[in-house]
Each structure stands twice: as structure tokens, then as C-alpha cells.
Structure 1
Amino acid sequence: MVKQSKEQFQQNHRQLPIAKNEDVEFSSEAADNEDLEALERSKEADARQQS
């Protein structure tokens, strides 16, 4: 693992994209039970982040 200086870390961190919500294609026709459970957990997590 390569060590980075604090300045290099901050510069690399500033280059990272910042996204609050990401668009993800979801097909309810192709979803199985695990997909539906993951979708519900995602909605609950989003609600926690908003409050």
C-alpha cells in the first residue's frame, strides 16, 4: 500500500464525485424477493438520512 501525504489525500478527496442520490435502473418485473427487500432497506436508509 502506498502512503499518501495529507496534501495528496485532500487533493484526491476533492476530486471524488459527490452524490446525494444516484439514479439506479430498477425493474420490478425482474426483481426477486431479495431485490424487493433491498429496495425496502434502501428506502428506510434514505428516510433516516433525511431526518
Structure 2
Amino acid sequence: MTRKERKNHIMTKTEKTIELMSSKLEDVEFSALSADKDDVEALVRSEEADGRQLRRMESK
């Protein structure tokens, strides 16, 4: 939702879809300096999962 819209406005399905699509296009950066322990653990788990997925794809 844009900043100009009222907070108590109930979004339609179309508005929700547009909002979701636009949020997926945003670039998210990871800052190691501001990351806490949970962020680093999540990053490690994500990299391990990516490696497992690549191995599965290569073995097929």
C-alpha cells in the first residue's frame, strides 16, 4: 500500500496482487554489519539448502 492510502482501507484481491508483485521486484541487500546471529544462521541454512537443491538437479 502506498503511503497516501488510508491504513484502514481493505485491499481488493487485485490490489493485493499488484502490491505483492511490486514487492517481489524490490532488491533486498544483506548487510553483514547489521546482521545478528539469527540472520547469519538463516543465511548459512539457505546456502546449504541451495547446495542440496543443485546436487539434486545435477543427479537427475
TM-score of Structure 1 vs Structure 2, range by shorter chain:
0.5 to 0.7
Note closer, same or farther for the CA distance 1:45–1:24 as it changes in structure 2 (3 Å cut).
Answer: farther
How far residue 39 of structure 1 moved from its aligned partner, in angstroms, is: 0.3
Which residue does the alignment assign to 1:9?
none
What is the TM-score normalised by the length of structure 1?
A: 0.53
Which residue does the alignment assign to 2:33?
29
Q: Which runs of 5+ in 2 are unaligned?
A: 1-26, 56-60
Which structure has more relative contact order (CA 8 Å, sep 6+)? It is: 2
Q: Which runs of 5+ in 1 are unaligned?
A: 1-22
Identity %: 62
- RMSD, aligned α-carbons: 1.3
Note closer, same or farther for the CA distance 1:44–1:24 as it changes in structure 2 (3 Å cut).
Answer: farther
Number of aligned residues? 29
